[in-house]
Structure 1
Amino acid sequence: MSNAKPIRWFTFIVLVIGGGTVFKLSSLKDAFYVPMQEFMNLSNTQIGVALSVYGIVQTIGNFASIYIADRFSKKILIPFSLVCVGLIGFYIASFPSFYGICIAWGLLSLFGEVVYWPVLLKAIRLLGDSTQQGRLFGFLEAGRGVVDTIVAFSALGIFILLGENAAGLKAAIIFYSLCVIIAGILAYFLLEDDKINTTDEKGREISKNKAAFNGVIKAVKTPEIWIVSLTIFTIYSIYCGLTYFIPFLKDIYGMPVALVGAYGIINQYTLKLIGGPIGGYCADKVFHSSTRYLRFALILAAISILIFIFMPHEKLNIYFGMSLTLGFAAIVFTMRATFFAPVDEIQMPREISGAAMSIACIFGYSPQLFCFALYGYIIDTYKGLLGYQIVFGIMGFFAILGIAISTYLLRRIAIKKTQNNLA
């Protein structure tokens, strides 16, 4: 570590503040689902449609971010996207029609997922060298969890203080909006400008547009980034299944309503705070490879979920069931915190980090387009324990698939290192 690149922690903190506030408006349902229905006159279906619009814009838009993320400096893109998200929040606070809500959530996806997120991941990667990637992404997840918790509970406090009515909901939304705008202003004044390389491989001067386009082509032609994307795909498919531990514990274990909130807070916030640093530390210090750690964690997840499927759940204590599910979720959160770190391990050129991260986002996050619907359909169709066992079995299948893909990725990394050493 004596030759390790010093991490610019001040820049890291600025990035974490933005990362912890940018998605509060798009995830408004997490804390205000019922108030949204009551005061914004939205049905379950309408909220679902708005979230579907969000996912569609994200998936399609990330193809554009392959170019955008390396064409413009983070000093421009990060503040611009954060301020735009905040301004959209003020529009949402006016309680627009359902079609206005759909447009708003589409725009939140455009500025949050398409413009902001790949650039944030790129900026985090460039803060450290290959020996620090696991910790950087792990602490990013933990830091976002801290900011997310503070902002979310503050907004909830405002809502309660104002009487849990329409005015309270508007005030909470405006609070979210102000937080993200302030984060954008801080980012503009505190982030340094990127130096965009405007020379090609032969040393000839080219335009920034040409340089960005060349980076897109180079990233697309790099097979390892597609393998990293598939690894993320399998882990995110497992992560989607964690949502269904709550109805599982309620239906099979008879978890009291009073425990649902406590379980949700632990699952949503505490595990993120703990899993991020642990996953990052293990990747950098124990396994000395993010990919090796991900494979190990996938093996652990596969064994755990397969054993879990065949346990006599209807005879077990509720607290034991909660411990089992939270333990499995903790393993998944350590992977979720570090699954972008292998982008550095495959020796992707740093000047095309934005394009690489965008490709990873496109396919890595794509399970959200079908996993929630698939898992929900199975549970509704196969009543009782059987439906959950099928869902957990699918999660196990994705874990086994992830083991195979990460093993292949390790082989590709070894071949690439050998080739570079010979050169």
Structure 2
Amino acid sequence: MSKIKQSGKITTLILMMLSLNTIYVLPYLMYTYYVPLQEAMGLIGRDADYGKLLNVYGIVNIILYIPGGMIADKFDPKKLLIFSMIGTGVLGLWEATWPSYTMLMIIHVAWAFTTVLTYWSASIKCINVIAGADEQGSMYGSLEAGRGIVGIVLTTIFVGIFTKYSANSARAMSYVVITCSVVMILVGIAMAFLMPATNVEGATNEGLVDSIKAMGQAFKRPVTYLLSGMIFGACMAQAGISYMAPYLAKICGMDQNTTIIFANYNRTICTLIGAAIAAFAAKKMGRSSKFMIYAGIGSVISYVLLVLVPGSKAMMFPIMIIMIFSTLCYPVFRALYYAVVDELGTQKNEVGSVIGIASILGFLPDTFYTSMCGARLEADPVGGYKFVFITCMAAMALSLICAFISDRKILKYRKTDEYKASLRQADM
């Protein structure tokens, strides 16, 4: 049972909403500002090189996930989060000067350290530690829904800044990047003064040997690999969403400013709605995996429709509806799959390690997917977008299978004496 007071939980949850909604904006900025960011970086016509920035970031992430998991199981997540937010913001201020391609590559590599090594597993474990055994799904769902609310506010600010200065892409994107960076630095400072310590009893390992043992146990747990499959599908779906706005612009004839607005609000509003429904459904159904199954089915169907419906100006509205539905489904997985870690009885001092290992496999698309899609789009724009939708469909089918297996395992675990004992301990 978490010893964090309710007021501390609420404060932590609010700060994590702000944190998670800003720290990954800059590394993944191309997802919502694909063409303007490309122009600001001076990479127009170099889609493959443009995609490599994110892929290099993803490759270094893969290297750092396991040590990041061990660090999260060894240190108070609060201290790791403070460093990550301030460090990422400072790097963002550097990016806003639009240095050379080599320097941009270095910034993306450095972001891997501040957003993965010291942040990723620590951020997920932070919520795992403060949430009780019976509130994991609702807590993660509330976090994701809160991110949607924060996202709408920040998106309105970012879109307003971009629209005002859109005549000059470099200037507009500089202001967007600077604003996001300053917000991150301020959130990091707020964490230092307002967030309670999160190193509750039994949540951290004493030394290196204990951390290695915890990592070894994490490798043996089925949840590690089921989680990685669910992350993999959601990761590719998230990347696929970044190609929806360019598809509407280049294939369906939508103007650029409208596509920017659609890309931003589609992602943020759908995240809010999808995650809020996920939080409610997880609490109502008593477990997180069941609703993920429904979302997985919906996601696969939406991508099938995007493959089958021909892209044209006449079909723009139906395609937008399908895209919105698709975007509603993927945040359900992102809101709930980490709750499965606790729902399958994972020890608190192993949570960071499970997250680290699962992230290596789950976020593999970050190492190759955008550059692969970029190369396809350069060679054949229409066929390239169909390739994006087909691969996302296959990836979400994998997530659906993993959610189904997780659901069976959770039901089986809840019949064990270990689970019944954990419930009695939570009630003490």
Q: Normalising to structure 1: TM-score of the pair?
A: 0.83
Match of 2:188 in 1: 184
Question: How many angstroms does 1:166 deviate by?
Answer: 6.4
Segment drifting more, 326-335 vs 25-34: 25-34
Match of 2:64 in 1: 61
Does the CA contact (< 8 Å) of 1:224 and 1:412 recur in 2? no
Tell which structure's C-alpha radius of gyration is larger. Answer: 1
Question: How many angstroms does 1:137 deviate by?
Answer: 1.9
User: How far apart in 2 are the matches of 1:373 and 1:142?
Assistant: 30
Does the CA contact (< 8 Å) of 1:35 and 1:169 recur in 2? yes
User: How far apart in 2 are the matches of 1:419 and 1:255?
Assistant: 56
Match of 1:320 in 2: 318
Does the CA contact (< 8 Å) of 1:133 and 1:280 recur in 2? no
User: How far apart in 2 are the matches of 1:270 and 1:74?
Assistant: 29
Out of 134, 137, 151, the position equivalent to 2:137 is 134
Question: How many angstroms does 1:217 deviate by?
Answer: 1.9
Question: How many angstroms does 1:149 deviate by?
Answer: 4.1
Match of 1:225 in 2: 224
Query: C-alpha offsets along residues 262-305 of structure 1, whole Å, 9 cap, x if unaligned?
Result: 321232221112111112212221x3221111122212333443
Q: Does 1:18 align with 2:19?
A: yes
Match of 1:210 in 2: 209
1:235-384 correspondence runs (5 A): 235-250=234-249, 252-257=251-256, 259-285=258-284, 287-307=285-305, 309-311=307-309, 317-378=315-376, 381=379, 384=382
Does the CA contact (< 8 Å) of 1:253 and 1:321 recur in 2? no
User: How far apart in 2 are the matches of 1:292 and 1:339?
Assistant: 11
Query: C-alpha offsets along residues 392-415 of structure 1, whole Å, 9 cap, x if unaligned?
Result: 343333333333332222333334
Does the CA contact (< 8 Å) of 1:138 and 1:337 recur in 2? yes
Segment drifting more, 14-23 vs 237-246: 237-246
Question: How many angstroms does 1:151 deviate by?
Answer: 3.7
Does the CA contact (< 8 Å) of 1:302 and 1:400 recur in 2? yes
Out of 370, 380, 399, the position equivalent to 1:402 is 399
Does the CA contact (< 8 Å) of 2:202 and 2:348 recur in 1? no
Q: Does 1:82 align with 2:79?
A: no
Query: C-alpha offsets along residues 16-43 of structure 1, whole Å, 9 cap, x if unaligned?
Result: 2222222233345467666656665555
The amino acid that maps onto 2:149 is V
Question: How many angstroms does 1:9 deviate by?
Answer: 1.2
Does the CA contact (< 8 Å) of 1:134 and 1:283 recur in 2? yes
User: How far apart in 2 are the matches of 1:30 and 1:241?
Assistant: 9
What's the Cα RMSD here? 3.4
Match of 2:424 in 1: none
User: How far apart in 1 are the matches of 2:375 and 2:288?
Assistant: 34
Segment drifting more, 44-53 vs 276-285: 44-53
The amino acid that maps onto 1:135 is S
The amino acid that maps onto 2:26 is L
Match of 1:114 in 2: 117
Does the CA contact (< 8 Å) of 1:79 and 1:185 recur in 2? yes
The amino acid that maps onto 1:348 is T
Question: How many angstroms does 1:388 deviate by?
Answer: 4.5
Question: How many angstroms does 1:391 deviate by?
Answer: 4.1
Segment drifting more, 337-346 vs 42-51: 42-51
The amino acid that maps onto 1:120 is S
Q: Normalising to structure 2: TM-score of the pair?
A: 0.83
Does the CA contact (< 8 Å) of 1:196 and 1:208 recur in 2? no
Question: How many angstroms does 1:315 deviate by?
Answer: 9.4
Alignment length, in residue pairs?
412
Does the CA contact (< 8 Å) of 2:235 and 2:363 recur in 1? yes
Structure 1: segments with no counterpart, 5+ residues: 201-205
Query: C-alpha offsets along residues 103-139 of structure 1, whole Å, 9 cap, x if unaligned?
Result: 1221112111221122111111222224322222222
Match of 1:146 in 2: 149
Distance change (3 Å), C-alpha of 1:324 and 1:61: same
Segment drifting more, 173-182 vs 106-115: 173-182
Question: How many angstroms does 1:377 deviate by?
Answer: 4.5
Distance change (3 Å), C-alpha of 1:340 and 1:166: same
Distance change (3 Å), C-alpha of 1:240 and 1:90: closer
> Per the alignment, in what secondary structure is the counterpart of residue 126 of structure 1?
helix
User: How far apart in 1 are the matches of 2:250 and 2:87?
Assistant: 42
Query: C-alpha offsets along residues 145-193 of structure 1, whole Å, 9 cap, x if unaligned?
Result: 3334434544565674799586776555443332211111111112222
User: How far apart in 2 are the matches of 1:199 and 1:247?
Assistant: 44
1:140-179 correspondence runs (5 A): 140-154=143-157, 160=164, 164=168, 172-179=176-183
Distance change (3 Å), C-alpha of 1:21 and 1:214: same
Query: C-alpha offsets along residues 244-273 of structure 1, whole Å, 9 cap, x if unaligned?
Result: 333444455444445423321232221112
User: How far apart in 1 are the matches of 2:33 and 2:378?
Assistant: 25
